[in-house]
Amino acid sequence: MKIVIGNDHAAVDMKFKIKEYIESMGHEVINVGTDDYSSCDYPDIAYAACEKIKNKEVDLGVLICGTGVGMSLTANKVKGIRACVCSETYSARLCREHNDANVLCFGERVIGIETAKELVSAFLNATFEGGKHKNRVDKILSIEEGTYKK
């Protein structure tokens, strides 16, 4: 798969390690994050990454900031993006299987690198189950489109 990775100044070290880890899994990684520690704005990075997903240039995204929260808040404003902040593997797997999440977010200030690798592995190796879960994801999309009906 093609994976876009993005990070702000709070997650430079973790970004490099996770990029290498995803590549070691055989995926191609496109880095839209910052490579240095000067302060920058996470919405710029999250938006750049989500545009690539929206335009189908990549399959999935991984966004890392201090907490993962700013990245996820921004990503979820982009149409078609379902971003989840995770700090344990059950949610990282289920957000793909049940919610068809296309962006995984986490925080370098919150979790360690080994947990981060496990999250990424759970997320990238899981597949959307469809069926009743598709109906629910379709409802999320309809809210986005303004066509929601219970």
Binding site for ligand RB5 (CB under 6 A): 8, 10, 42, 65-67, 69-70, 107
Q: Is 65 a catalytic residue?
A: yes
Q: Look-up: residue for tokens 């993962």?
A: 68
Those residues with Cβ within 8 angstroms of residue 106's Cβ, 6 or more apart along the chain or in another chain? 64, 68, 85, 86, 87, 116, 119
| For ligand RB5, the closer CB: 8 or 100 | 8
- The single-letter DSSP state of residue 38 is S
d(CA 33, CA 121): 20
133 classed as catalytic: no
Q: Closer CB to ligand RB5, residue 64 or residue 120?
A: 64
CB closer to ligand RB5 out of 47 and 100: 47
Output phi, psi for 6, to 5 deg.
-145, 150
Q: Pick the catalytic residue: 50, 65, 95, 105? A: 65
Of these residues, 9, 27, 98, 133, which one is catalytic?
Answer: 98
Catalytic positions, please?
A: 65, 98
